[in-house]
């Protein structure tokens, strides 16, 4: 585990999908695979 990880980082599952997870290890941020091009997770439907 890396305590120096940012607030949200991409975690690659054994299936090859990438999930957004927190440094604590919780995966409650999103359960859908995100494209590698997506880096900003704050513009979903806020506006």
- pLDDT (0 to 100) of residue 22: 65
- Are the C-beta atoms of 8 and 41 separated by less than 8 Å? yes
How would DSSP label each residue in 6-45? Answer: -SSEEEE-TTS-EEEE-TTS---S-SS---TT----S-SS
What is the residue range of 28's domain?
Answer: 1-35
Q: Is residue 44 part of a domain?
A: no
Q: Is residue 43 part of a domain?
A: no
- pLDDT (0 to 100) of residue 26: 60
- pLDDT (0 to 100) of residue 21: 66
Sign of CA dihedral 2, 22, 20, 41: negative
- Are the C-beta atoms of 23 and 16 separated by less than 8 Å? no
Q: Is residue 26 part of a domain?
A: yes
Q: Give pLDDT tens digits for 13-42.
A: 776 666 666 666 665 555 555 565 555 555
- pLDDT (0 to 100) of residue 14: 73
Tally of structural domains, the chain? 1
């Amino acid at each position: 585990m890396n305590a120096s990880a940012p607030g949200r980082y991409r975690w690659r599952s054994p299936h090859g999908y990438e999930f957004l997870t927190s440094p604590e290890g919780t995966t409650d941020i999103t359960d859908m695979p995100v494209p590698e091009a997506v880096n900003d997770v704050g513009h979903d439907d806020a506006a």
